[in-house]
Amino acid sequence: MIVGTAGHIDHGKTALVRALTGVDTDRLKEEKARGISIDLGFAYLPAPDGAVLGFVDVPGHEKFIHNMLAGATGIDFVLLVIAADDGVMPQTREHLAIIDLLGIRCGVVALTKIDLTAPARQAEVSADIARLLQGTCLADAGIVPVSTVGGDGIADLRRQLFAAAPTIRARATSQRFRLAVDRSFTLAGAGTVVTGTVLSGAVATGDRVVVSPSGLVARVRAIHAQNRPAQSGVAGQRCALNLAGDGVSKDAIARGQMVLDPELHAPTNRIDATLALLATEPRAVAQWMPARLHHAAADIGARIVLLGDAPIPPGGAAPVQLVLDRPIAAVAGDRFVLRDTTAQRTIGGGIFLDLRAPARRRRTPERLAQLDAHRIADPETALAALLDISPHVVDLVAFARDRALAETRIQAIGERLGVIRAAAAEGVFALSSAAWLRFTRDLMATLQQFHADNPDLPGIGLERLRLQLALRLPPPAFRSVLDGLARAKGVALDGAWVRLPSHEVRLTQEHERAWSEIAPLIGGAERFRPPRVRDIAALRALREPDVRRLLKLLGRMGRIDEVAHDHFFLRATVAEMVGIVADLGAAAPGGGFTAAQFRDRVDSGRKVAIQILEFFDRHGVTMRRGDRRRVNRHRLDLFRRPTDEETGGAKTLGRETSGRETPGRESSPVGRPDFKSGRGRESVLGGFDSLSLPPR
């Protein structure tokens, strides 16, 4: 358990921690000289049951509220210190408001300096305190009168702390590791050491971690947990980590940064959140109001974007978007506090909902419904809610990361919800099985309709199809789903074209007639130097755009190839020329062949011969070095006539070209959770490959 003090300046917080633990946490020269706390102080107290209680002592001075905030994150139990002589003072109220905003529910009030006051005064202050706590998260907290001079009440208070420690709900060790850094220093003989509270998960010696948002990679060389040497540290403990690695130094890491499981490193500067405004605020929060955002041990300038219709009145709460001056490492569900830009007062605070907030269309009904789903703390319920609403698709990698969920946890959730997953380089996209059924039905119906309307087109463009469907998947998810469907033979993909496997392109009668007139022109004796589109149009008295459209169509069907702009060759001629190139290559195994040699064989002009060779270069059939070319044997069958030439075939140029336009689409990205890369693309896709497609 981590105990944190809170309360007005000089009310006896540090004296109380010393009375309880024997440790004077005011160590700075300036603290000694001025008799006040400035920065955070730390102390530890072994409990009779073997546990160790950690103490974070905070300064009460109004100028050092930012330090108080850095210390208050990660405490389980608050020791609200109120001096019996002074009574409730401004920072008593402000610290209490902060504790309330941070959602710290456990605590006790220490009524200090009772040696200086009469019982009547203590009763009076106790009554004030009871009123103060009403409606706050400390409403049920008891009041313990103490004196650090006489020692009254100290043993009782200590006993209460020991009793509370086992009742503190263990923080999620099933989550991934996060530590909020509050100190960074160099230790002689050890090197760089950072300290902080472990917010979630666990860390062990030898672990690789990332300092976020900077991205610095480090290895954990040694650990102190609750002030003792340890092999590991877990959520709810204060830890000191001895870090090693390139660029790791005390100056490279500072208070406000996080040490993370590398999978969690994804800083963000635009966060949708709920904001509750303190009732003591003089004015409503207006659009684009600047503020200081305090999150864990970090503080950053921020702007508030209202997502509701009206300004947020004092005492009110509403969803907002926080636009930060620089990115931070956070997790959805984290608490934050806002203070005014001059750092004089606390404005309010709330909970982060969505770390990947959109800059546009951020207050549509659809978006606000998503925020309602993000508001649900339980990840399984939240995921189910998100899948249930538009756009019905959730990136599981981002979802798990932004909630710091361990791999096994998100796996189990996905399985329990029966989600359909599609893996892409950009993420693992999940749909509910109901949405999947609707999606595939819509997809099949759309393809059928498209083919009926456009019998002469090989298929519908990928992007056009995506935009036409009611359930609009993000492009990478859509591509991944189609790949899976193609493997299951539900659809066929020809490069950027999608079609039903049964669809065959048919030329209209008009096209057939035109083609029967054109074909002899580009075949036959002149096949190595066929006329271009304009010449064909002139020779056959056709409109140039009509000829071009027809030839492009035949190109997509794999019957001809556009070797250069408006210059089409029969696929058979291209295959013949590949044969010639292969011959030339075989005859000159060492140095390759020249364009002139090729021109002599095909008997075309020099310019055309070079265009043909450049076409082969583009498709990898030949490789050019200087004025010579060599042949790539693996590419020689690229232009073989499809066995069924009317179908457009699988080996069209389109497919090859498109394959190269999207390099790395299948490559496994770095930094992905293992549930994708580890289990492999196939097994993830297996989820929907095995589903039957809806009846047509």
Identify whether the C-beta of residue 176 lies closer than 8 Å to the C-beta of residue 225.
no
Q: Does 154 bind ligand GTP (CB under 6 A)?
A: no
**Which residue of the chain is nearest ligand GTP when measured via CB?**
60
Q: In angstroms, what is the minimal distance from the CB of 90 to ligand GTP?
A: 12
Q: Does 4 bind ligand GTP (CB under 6 A)?
A: no
Three-state SS for 292-316 is EEEECCEEEEEEEEECCCCCECCCC
Q: Does 72 bind ligand GTP (CB under 6 A)?
A: no
Which residue type occupies 240? A
- Contact segment (CB under 5 A) with Mg ion among 7-15, 124-132, 331-339, 639-647 equals 7-15
Measured between alpha carbons, how far is residue 231 from residues 1, 219, 239 in Å? Answer: 19, 14, 11
The residue written with tokens 């010639």 in the block is 580
| C-alpha to C-alpha distance for 170 and 190, rounded to whole angstroms | 31
Choose the contact partner of 440 out of ligand GTP, Mg ion, none; CB within 5 to 8 A by kind.
none
Q: Does 61 bind ligand GTP (CB under 6 A)?
A: yes
Q: Which of 6, 14, 222, 503 binds ligand GTP (CB under 6 A)?
A: 14
Q: Which of 51, 116, 434, 470 binds ligand GTP (CB under 6 A)?
A: 116
- Contact segment (CB under 6 A) with ligand GTP among 55-63, 294-302, 345-353, 593-601 equals 55-63
Q: Does 113 bind ligand GTP (CB under 6 A)?
A: yes
Q: Does 95 bind Mg ion (CB under 5 A)?
A: no
Q: In angstroms, what is the minimal distance from the CB of 349 to Mg ion?
A: 24
Ramachandran angles phi, psi of 685, nearest 5°: -70, -25
Which residue type occupies 39? D
Q: In angstroms, what is the minimal distance from the CB of 64 to ligand GTP?
A: 8
Q: Does 94 bind ligand GTP (CB under 6 A)?
A: no
Choose the contact partner of 582 out of Mg ion, ligand GTP, none; CB within 5 to 8 A by kind.
none
- Contact segment (CB under 5 A) with Mg ion among 9-17, 457-465, 468-476, 543-551 equals 9-17
Q: Does 369 bind ligand GTP (CB under 6 A)?
A: no
Going by C-beta distance under 8 Å and a sequence separation of 6 or more, which residues neighbour residue 439?
Answer: 392, 431, 469, 471, 473, 481
Q: Does 115 bind ligand GTP (CB under 6 A)?
A: yes
Q: Does 192 bind ligand GTP (CB under 6 A)?
A: no
Going by C-beta distance under 8 Å and a sequence separation of 6 or more, which residues neighbour residue 85?
Answer: 113, 116, 117, 121
Count of residues interacting with Mg ion (CB under 5 A): 3
Q: Does 21 bind Mg ion (CB under 5 A)?
A: no
Q: Which of 148, 195, 197, 237 binds ligand GTP (CB under 6 A)?
A: 148
Cα 369 to the center of its chain, rounded Å: 20
The residues in 275-334 that bind Mg ion, with binding defined as CB under 5 A, are: none
Choose the contact partner of 15 out of ligand GTP, Mg ion, none; CB within 5 to 8 A by kind.
ligand GTP
- Contact segment (CB under 6 A) with ligand GTP among 5-13, 270-278, 393-401, 636-644 equals 5-13
Which token pair is 387? 């899948």
Identify whether the C-beta of residue 338 lies closer than 8 Å to the C-beta of residue 292.
yes
Q: Does 122 bind ligand GTP (CB under 6 A)?
A: no
- Contact segment (CB under 6 A) with ligand GTP among 112-120, 196-204, 242-250, 440-448 equals 112-120
Which token pair is 45? 């107290």
Q: In angstroms, what is the minimal distance from the CB of 79 to Mg ion?
A: 12
Measured between alpha carbons, how far is residue 470 from residues 333, 391, 595 in Å? Answer: 31, 9, 53
- Of 160, 196, 271, whose CA–CA distance to 42 is shortest? 196
Q: Which of 73, 117, 147, 432 binds ligand GTP (CB under 6 A)?
A: 147
Q: In angstroms, what is the minimal distance from the CB of 149 to ligand GTP?
A: 4
- Contact segment (CB under 6 A) with ligand GTP among 54-62, 270-278, 291-299, 420-428 equals 54-62
Identify whether the C-beta of residue 200 lies closer than 8 Å to the C-beta of residue 172.
yes
Q: In angstroms, what is the minimal distance from the CB of 8 to ligand GTP?
A: 7
Q: Which of 52, 149, 369, 595 binds ligand GTP (CB under 6 A)?
A: 149
Helix (H) or strand (E) holding 318: strand 317-328
Q: Does 37 bind Mg ion (CB under 5 A)?
A: yes
| C-alpha to C-alpha distance for 147 and 27, rounded to whole angstroms | 22
Identify whether the C-beta of residue 16 lies closer than 8 Å to the C-beta of residue 28.
no
Backbone conformation region of residue 247, classed left if phi is above 0, alpha if psi is from -120 to 50, else beta: left
Going by C-beta distance under 8 Å and a sequence separation of 6 or more, which residues neighbour residue 179?
Answer: 194, 196, 197, 198, 199, 203, 233, 239, 241, 258, 259, 260
Q: Which of 3, 11, 92, 318 binds ligand GTP (CB under 6 A)?
A: 11
- Of 77, 67, 139, 134, whose CA–CA distance to 102 is shortest? 77
Q: Does 265 bind ligand GTP (CB under 6 A)?
A: no
Q: Does 59 bind ligand GTP (CB under 6 A)?
A: yes
Q: What is the dihedral of CA 575, 578, 580, 585, to 10 degrees?
A: -160
Q: In angstroms, what is the minimal distance from the CB of 92 to ligand GTP?
A: 11
Which residues make up the interface to Mg ion (CB under 5 A)? 13-14, 37
Which residues make up the interface to ligand GTP (CB under 6 A)? 7, 9-15, 36-37, 59-61, 81, 112-113, 115-116, 147-149
